[in-house]
Amino acid sequence: MISKQDREVRFDKYCELCKYKELDDIKDPCNACLDAPFNEYSHKPICFEEKE
């Protein structure tokens, strides 16, 4: 069950900015992010790291 604190991850917003974007989506850490479509208090994917 989804709680009030859970947020749907905004892959459409964050994947474009992530340093891992060029990796295949079946490889870690992208696979770990895709396995977690909801986060508590955040729309950001769990393995997101912004490109430099």
Residue 46, token pair as written in the block:
């769990």
Per DSSP, the three-state class of 6 is strand
User: Which pLDDT belongs to residue 6?
Assistant: 93
Helix (H) / strand (E) containing 11: helix 11-14
User: Which pLDDT belongs to residue 25?
Assistant: 65
Structural domains counted in the chain: 1
pTM of the model: 0.78
When computed from its CA atoms, the radius of gyration of the chain, rounded to whole angstroms, is 11
User: Which pLDDT belongs to residue 50?
Assistant: 96
Q: Could you give the CA distance from residue 7 to residue 45 in angstroms, rounded to a whole number?
A: 10
pLDDT in tens, the chain (52 residues): 667 799 999 999 999 999 998 887 677 788 889 999 999 999 999 999 999 8
Q: Could you list the residue range(s) of the whole structural domain that residue 46 is in?
A: 1-52
